[in-house]
């Protein structure tokens, strides 16, 4: 009789032990981290499924498969340089002949103008900051029309338009985010 009770006890304890073991190691559904992987074509894929594996990259996701309208391969770091009419990597080769040309192109692009219709005049310039004025040609006329002022700051290898226009200048933001020389802000902001 003792043998039968012992066998019955073992038969009962095995499934109970297995259940308790699984319960102790099961914390519920697996929560995937929010990290992402960048595919060669520039798209990001996240983690999915019970194993939290990364979703596969799209089938057409091959290096070089992301050419833009000029044939520049963005995944390899190339972008179109209008002044030089070629693809280049801006950290290897500057696109513009100088700061004035870069600001002129940026303003033309921002306002949907041709570069020939944008005239800039630099009033003050350091190696890191530029203050000046901009004029847009009146359609069909070669004389300057409407315009305003601009402030630009060097950001790495490129120039960033900090402000442009002819309205209220956000002086507090400019002073907080940039370290323009005080004499360069005269006429823009009350110092």
Instruction: Retrieve residue 126's tokens.
Output: 């350091």
Position 72 scores a pLDDT of: 93
pLDDT digits (tens, 9 = 90+) for 160-181: 999 999 888 999 999 889 999 9
pLDDT digits (tens, 9 = 90+) for 70-93: 999 988 889 999 899 999 998 888
Contact by Cβ (8 Å): 83, 97: yes
What is the dihedral angle through the alpha carbons of 102, 108, 114, 115, rounded to the nearest 10 degrees? -20
Instruction: Retrieve residue 70's tokens.
Output: 């000029």
| Mean pLDDT, rounded, of the chain | 78
Rg of the chain, C-alpha, whole Å: 31
Position 43 scores a pLDDT of: 61
pLDDT digits (tens, 9 = 90+) for 5-53: 555 545 765 655 555 555 555 554 545 555 555 666 566 656 565 556 6
pLDDT grade for 156, boundaries at 50, 70 and 90: confident
Half-sphere exposure of 64 (CA within 13 A, CB side): 0
Residue 154: enclosing H or E segment and its boundaries?
strand 144-155
Structural domains of the chain in order of their starting residue, each with its CATH number = 98-185 (3.10.450)
CA separation for the pair 183, 188 (Å, rounded)? 10
Nearest partner of 79 among 42, 116, 113, 36, judged by Cα: 42
């Amino acid at each position: 009789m003792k043998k039968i009770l012992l066998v019955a006890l073992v038969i009962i304890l095995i499934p109970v032990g297995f259940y308790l073991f699984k319960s102790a190691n099961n914390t519920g559904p697996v929560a995937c981290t929010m990290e992402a992987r960048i595919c060669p074509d520039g798209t990001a894929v996240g983690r999915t499924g019970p194993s939290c594996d990364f979703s596969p990259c799209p089938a057409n996701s091959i290096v070089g498969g992301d050419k833009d309208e000029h044939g520049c391969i963005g995944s390899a770091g190339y972008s179109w340089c209008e002044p030089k009419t070629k693809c280049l990597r801006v950290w290897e080769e500057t696109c513009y002949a100088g700061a004035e040309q870069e600001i002129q192109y940026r303003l033309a692009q921002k306002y949907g103008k041709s570069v020939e219709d944008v005239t800039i005049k630099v009033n003050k310039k350091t190696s890191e900051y530029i203050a000046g004025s901009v004029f847009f040609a009146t359609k069909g006329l070669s004389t300057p029309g409407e315009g305003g002022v601009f402030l630009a700051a060097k950001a790495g290898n490129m120039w960033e338009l900090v402000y442009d226009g002819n309205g209220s200048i956000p002086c507090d933001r400019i002073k907080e985010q940039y370290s323009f020389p005080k004499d360069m802000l005269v006429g823009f902001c009350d110092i």
